[in-house]
Amino acid sequence: MGSIESFYFHLFQPEYRIATAFILAIILNLYVIPIIIRIARQNNFFDVPNQRTSHDTSIPTMGGLGIYFSIIMVSLILINTCGLNGGQVSSSLTSLPPILAGLTLIFFVGMKDDIINIGAWKKLVAEIIALTILIVIGDVKINNLQGIFGINELSYIESLVISLFVGIVIINALNLIDGVDGLASSIALLGSSVFGSYFLVIHEWEYAIFAFTISGALIPFFIYNTFGKVNKIFMGDTGSLLLGFAMTVLVFRFNEMNSMPSIKPYFIAGPAFSIAVLIVPLFDTLRVFSIRIYRGGSPFKADHRHIHHVLLDLGFTHLQTTVILFVISVVYIAFAYFFNYLGNYLLVLIMLGSVSLLAGVAMKIHYRKLRLNPGESGDKPAES
């Protein structure tokens, strides 16, 4: 084999494609973001500060466009969809077209919402359509509850309904947590890296490429969003919705592979581990929706009860709030990994109990501060 042939042979081996995907996604988004910022300024695509926002200057939005562009381009270039590699049988991701189709639909819905604002129910319908493409056409779904409620294998209808519900929850949880600089992107970066590492270890190469492509695309955005001064940018619903959809894909595939005990590492409490990876957005959404419903309001009515609002009201900066919630996520992921032998029920119970305690302490301090400073109301309108 000649030197050139040897170079290309090694270049397209799975391990090299994973590294290439990660680096290429970083480079692409680093190149694209300044262009998006310039176009956003020229066309007045700004997130203008108002009583619903936690920033005080007009910031270019549409950062999700760079994330989307990077994921799409790298996936199309490097993910194997036909199972052949230089004439040899290799891994493949035949579900890539439906995955990217659903991602694209979610992307355009988010972009439309960023530009003209669309109702929550219209977004929900679009999410259902995108998830249906993923589940029905792509066959990427939850097929096994791994013993939860004594249920293992699911019928097709059960799988469809449960997968739709879980997907909607994840998409909206990521969307709702996008309230301070770097939070949604750091949580998604952590999640995609964790699932990507799992796929790498079990040699699920194409999903590993997809996961690390997401990670790579998020790094430049996180830097601009968190540390940018003149060139700061927000991801908007364009980004948060597509990240929720992408994380749904990874969660579904992780639980599908983990339902096979022959694959190592095997998580006894796979679903609980998935919850741990997304504990911050999932718990915060559950907590806020419960409070809104308990008080007789709509679960979709925006307020200042999200945990990141509480931390901001307590005096933490955006960066400090993001770091706190990121570290909490890391701790819960580590806990779910090392104590996975406890099983789904006990592990979820411990996680929900402890995170409820942490949130309760923060809320108690917050309410005490509000009593001392009545003008700082936590019920004023806010981003959802």
Output 82 or 174, whichever has higher pLDDT.
Answer: 174
Q: What is the pLDDT of residue 60?
A: 87
User: pLDDT for 338-372, tens place per residue?
Assistant: 999 999 999 999 999 999 999 989 888 888 877 77
Q: Cα separation of 280 and 170, whole Å?
A: 11
User: pLDDT for 1-38, tens place per residue?
Assistant: 456 555 555 566 888 899 999 999 999 999 999 999 99
Q: Cα separation of 141 and 251, whole Å?
A: 9
Q: What amino acid is encoded at 137 in this protein?
A: I
Q: What is the mean pLDDT of residues 372-382?
A: 51
* Mean pLDDT (the chain, rounded): 88
Q: Cα separation of 311 and 175, whole Å?
A: 18
Query: What confidence tier does 52 reach under pLDDT thresholds 50, 70, 90?
Result: low
- The model's pTM: 0.91
- Pick the range with the lowest mean pLDDT from 49-53, 221-225, 243-247, 370-374: 49-53
Q: What is the pLDDT of residue 194?
A: 98
Q: Cα separation of 318 and 227, whole Å?
A: 10
Angle of helix 120-132 versus helix 96-116 axis, rounded to 10: 170
Q: Which two tokens stand for residue 323?
A: 């770091």
Q: Cα separation of 70 and 243, whole Å?
A: 13
> Half-sphere exposure (CA, 13 Å, Cβ side) for 204?
23
Alpha carbon distances (Å) from 355 to 280, 291, 342, 359: 9, 16, 17, 6
Q: Where are the domains of the chain?
A: 3-268
Residue given tokens 């679009």 in the structure block:
126
Output 301 or 164, whichever has higher pLDDT.
Answer: 164
Q: What is the pLDDT of residue 110?
A: 94
Asked if 121 and 165 count as a contact pair (C-beta separation under 8 A), the reply is no
Q: Which two tokens stand for residue 186?
A: 């750091």
User: pLDDT for 139-149, tens place per residue?
Assistant: 999 999 988 87
Q: Cα separation of 108 and 342, whole Å?
A: 42
Q: What is the pLDDT of residue 43?
A: 86
Q: What amino acid is encoded at 208 in this protein?
A: A
Q: What is the pLDDT of residue 177?
A: 93
Residue 130 has pLDDT above 90, yes or no: yes
Query: What confidence tier does 383 reach under pLDDT thresholds 50, 70, 90?
Result: very low
Residue 264 has pLDDT above 50, yes or no: yes
Q: Cα separation of 73 and 349, whole Å?
A: 41
Q: Cα separation of 71 and 245, whole Å?
A: 12
Residue 262 has pLDDT above 90, yes or no: no
